[in-house]
Structures are given as structure tokens and as C-alpha cells.
Structure 1
């Protein structure tokens, strides 16, 4: 069909044709034709499609020209459905131009859904989207206990964290220093360093739980970075930290604690028991060979760790590596208590 033939069709026929077009490549192809065809397609779209489908499709089309044409239609409000347009535009860098176009529209509220656009962009690590929203000034990154900063730290988005900290409104100490706790648990060393440089952060919060979290998740570099901070080093219980590091096999932390001769209150015997109980034979040898503890008479470094076959109690079995058919030796009777059933012991006792 030529353009002249298409021009002689009535508006009702054009609306019928548009109803068969998919909200995708078909409509975009029509919008790339003459201005007259674009006009009728944009007019007929809201008549044959719901306003929700039209506004969502226009944002996801990725073309500011398409979105601008849809926004100029009568009856199309970009703030409809709790500002669904700006919320979708903040979920991908491909919609950055559409986001800027929407922010210039006075009807759009980027703080909708408890500042959902900036929270979602921070969670996904979309630094350019976050920067655009911060430059607008209306979105508040401190909403919901600085959820934007907390999610960015948890997921390891360095550029996003840098932007939010430079803005200053999001508090890194919100929700019990949750940003530092999540970053240390996940092992994001660079983010931990950025947070420690902020005076609002308290790395010794709640008994140095950030150090303990990094130790339990075997992030030795994060633990050493936290211990280098005087706010942590002055109050940390290094004896307990040594026991936890021995239990979880964090060799780097154990070596650092053993190398620093200023530690006089470390209970090496308790650390040895923790390492033996968890089957950390390398750490057991390190403690014995370093002269910190005398080897117990029943020490056997050829023991291998294996979980209890019931998989419900906290027991760990130890079996000799040179005798795989030998009867397993349990580390202790108390560990075979069911956590969910107090007083009931494991059937594999």
C-alpha cells in the first residue's frame, strides 16, 4: 500500500489497522514514516490500547521522540499508575534519555513509591541513572533508612556508593551501620574502605560485629582492613576473634594475630580446640609449629572433616584420611543436640 492510498483511509480504518500492530517493532516502523502516518498512529494507539500499555511501551521503546509524541497526546498522563513511567525508566541505562525527558515534565514525581526510582537504580548499580536523579534534586536517597546506599553497598556497586556518599544525604550509619555490615559480610573491600573514611560510620558498632561477619565469611582482606582502623582495634576482643578465625579457617587473620606480639591475652588453647573441632588442620599445625601451644597427646593431623549424616544437628565427624573405612570419631556429644528440638539427641549418636 502506498502512502497516498494510506492517506485516503478514514480514521476508523486507521484505528482498526493500529489495533493489529504489536507494541514494538511494528509501531516503531510506522512512527519512522511520514509525519501524517505518525500522527494517526499516535492518535489511534490510546483508542485501541490501554493507557498503561501505551505509556509503558513508549518508555521501553528507548526513543525519546516516541515518548515525547505519546506524552503530547490528550489523556496521557506520565504520572498515572503511581508514576509508572519514571519508575520503569530508572531500571536500565538504555532508558536514560527517556528518564531525562520525563524529569523535565512537571507532572512526573520521581519520589513516588517511597523514592522507588533511586532505590531501584542503586540496587542495580546504575550509576548514570543515580547521578541523573541526584542532579534533579527531588529524589531523597535517605528514604527508608538510606535503603539506596544499603543496597548499593550490599551488591558491591562502587560507583553508585561513591555518588551517594558524595551527595551527603544518605547516612551510612543508618539502620545500625547496615551498609558496613553488609559490605563486610560480602567481602567488598573497596566499599568497606570508602565507608570507613566517612566519620559517620562506627565500625565498632555492636561489639565489632562487622569484623566478626567478615571473619565468618572468610574475607581476610576485609578483616585486616577493619582491624587497621583504631576504632576497631582498640576495643575488639582479639581472643574471641582468634577463636572464630580458627574455627572458620581464615588463615590470614590467624597469621596476623599470631604475628603481632602485642596480644598477650589470647587463649591459644581455646583457639586450638576451636580449630580441631572444625577440622582446620592447617591452623592446628600453625598453632603447634609456632610454639603457641603444646601438641595434645591425641592430636592427629590426618583427620578429615565430615558433616553428620543426619544434616540436622551441628555435629562434625572426623575420619582419618589414611583409614577411610575406620569408624568416625565425633567431636563432642553436646553438638549432637537438635537445635529445633531441645533435649533430643541425634539418632546417629
Structure 2
């Protein structure tokens, strides 16, 4: 124990004779204690040993455990849980979720293995798994899915875990979920938001490796034009020309360049993505008209000051009018 902790605990011990809410006195060091979960653990355990009333620190117990888990203080977490001052499944499994966010595999294991009031691996509708997926912690994703009791299913929520992994571009997790031996999500699942949502999310966020993996998946692959071509629309909106080109040129069920009455062109023009605007206008099949959607692409480009896009649209409109 370092000198700072020894000094503070010494002061606390000197308050043993204070019987009228002694913890209220101790809270003079409240800020320091809250910033030091290891010290908090020692204080709370001391409180139990001295049988002091602790009503004024009740709210801080879960906070101390939150902080200890967040910082990866395995021994402090164990100390707090052993004291019985806070349950392993406190706040509906909040600690498990924090450990999953931070990638602390040892603390995830400690909480799930705790002999009393352990959190369920699928607590909070699988929130710990969602967090592990979003932050790319493959080892924790595998642990939660493979937990022997109350494990979340890989296809829960119409594949929402797959959707999160695709949105974040975690190719290794996308592949693992699709290959999971029990209740695997389908590559074209809707994730609760429409057919092929994982593909749309990956396209919107520029993850061409995930887009390719999903489109090439041997079973239940999403159509490249799923959900009325929204993967193309969102890729164009975000400026991902490599994905726009990939989708337009896909060998089966490619989206039309004028999907949703040219919405991809409008979004690309709005954001000044001139290379995508040109690609769409010059696509050899089903190219959008430069004045599609009542000239909305031109208005959006002009309103946002994209003069090069305005000139390109005007040139194509005039060229079309003369044909």
C-alpha cells in the first residue's frame, strides 16, 4: 500500500469514535477517493469490517467498480466483489459492458465466473456483445457467444451484431459471425432495419472489404441492389467511389445508376463528389439524367458552392437536350 493510501486510511481509522454518520466526514476526501478506485475499494472494505453505516456512500460503490473495471484494475474489482458490497451483476450488467468496451478479457471472465449474482452473458439484450463487436474485441465476442450459460445468439435481433460489425468495418468479426456454428446470421439479414442492412452500413462507411465479403458470401448473400439500391446511394453520399464502382459493376443484380430516381447523383452533387457525379452520369446503362428529380442535383451543388459539379451537370444537361 502506498504512502498516500496509508495516510488516508490512518485518518479514517481515527474517526472510529465518530458514530453520527462517520462516512459524511470521510467524504471530505470524496474527489480523491472517486478518482482512485483502488483506494475506494480499501475504504469500502474497511467500512464493512468496522460495521459503519455507509448510506452516504451507497451511490459510490457501483461508481468505484465502474472506474476499476474501466481502468482494468483486476485486483480492485476482485476486492470489491469479494467484500459483498456490490454484486457482480450490478446495474443490469453495467460492469460486464464496460469490460467489453475496454477489451478487458480477464475482467469479463471474472464477472461471468463470479459464484454469486454473476451477470448473464446476454444481459441487457446482449449489450456487452454489441460493445465488444463495435470496438473490435474479437476474443471477447467469441467468449460471450461461446459462454456455456445464457449466451447471446449470433443472430439476435435479425443479425444486429453483424450490422454493428459491418458498420465499423471489423472484417474478422463479420466473418466469425457468419461462420458461427449455431444460429449464425445470414449475410443478407436486415439487422432490424431492412434487407441487406449490413451491406448498406458497410458501403456507407467505406468498408469495401466487408462489402465484397458480404456480396461474395456463398449462402444468402445480399443483392447488390438490395433495399432499392441504398448501398449505392449511401456510398455515393459519403464519397466512396471504389464502392460505387464495385456495386455498379457487380455481375448479378447490380443497382441501377439512377436508383431511387437518381438519388445517388443528388447526394454526390450535394457533397461535391465530382468523380462520383461523373461516374454516374457516364455509366453506360441506366445513367441518371443531369436534371433528375426536377433538377435537385444542380440545386444542391449550387447551394453548397460546388461550382465544378454545377458546370459538369450543366454540360451534361445541355448535351442531353441536343441529342
TM-score band, normalised by shorter chain = 0.5 to 0.7
Separation (CA, whole Å) in 1 of partners of 2:147 and 2:196:
27
The 10-residue stretch of structure 1 (140-149 or 22-31) with the greater mean CA deviation from structure 2: 22-31
Q: Which residue of 2 aligns with 1:226?
A: 247
1:89/1:255 CA distance change after superposition, 3 Å:
closer
1:58 aligns with 2:65: yes
1:173 aligns with 2:184: no
Partners of 2:235 and 2:241 within 8 A in 1: yes
Q: How does 1:156-235 map to 2 (within 5 A)?
A: 156-167=169-180, 169-175=184-190, 176-198=195-217, 199-203=219-223, 204-233=225-254
1:40 aligns with 2:67: no
Q: Which residue of 1 aligns with 2:92?
A: 82
Which of 97, 102, 117 is residue 111 of structure 2 equivalent to? 102
Which of 238, 251, 256 is residue 275 of structure 2 equivalent to? 251
Separation (CA, whole Å) in 1 of partners of 2:175 and 2:251:
23
Q: Deviations over 1:224-253 (max 9, x none)?
A: 2223332323xx445658955554446347
Paired residue total: 280
Q: Deviations over 1:284-314 (max 9, x none)?
A: 54687xxx74648xxxxxxxxxxxxxxxxxx
Instruction: Quote the offset at 1:65 in angstroms.
Output: 1.0
Q: TM-score with structure 2 length normalisation?
A: 0.66
Unpaired segments ≥5 residues, structure 1: 297-349
Separation (CA, whole Å) in 2 of partners of 1:255 and 1:76:
60
1:142 aligns with 2:155: yes
Instruction: Quote the offset at 1:128 in angstroms.
Output: 4.8
Max Rg structure:
1
Separation (CA, whole Å) in 1 of partners of 2:242 and 2:264:
13
Partners of 2:44 and 2:85 within 8 A in 1: no
Q: How does 1:197-346 map to 2 (within 5 A)?
A: 197-198=216-217, 199-203=219-223, 204-233=225-254, 236-238=255-257, 243-244=262-263, 246-247=265-266, 248-249=268-269, 251-252=275-276, 254-255=278-279, 258=282, 263=285, 266=286, 271-274=289-292, 277=295, 278-279=297-298, 280-285=310-315, 293=320, 295=322
Separation (CA, whole Å) in 2 of partners of 1:6 and 1:246:
70
* RMSD between aligned residues: 4.3
Instruction: Quote the offset at 1:181 in angstroms.
Output: 1.7
1:272/1:143 CA distance change after superposition, 3 Å:
closer
Unpaired segments ≥5 residues, structure 2: 1-5, 299-309
- Which structure has more relative contact order (CA 8 Å, sep 6+)? It is 2
Q: TM-score with structure 1 length normalisation?
A: 0.62
Instruction: Quote the offset at 1:220 in angstroms.
Output: 2.2
The 10-residue stretch of structure 1 (45-54 or 165-174) with the greater mean CA deviation from structure 2: 45-54
Separation (CA, whole Å) in 2 of partners of 1:81 and 1:246:
47
Instruction: Quote the offset at 1:216 in angstroms.
Output: 4.4
Separation (CA, whole Å) in 2 of partners of 1:209 and 1:144:
21
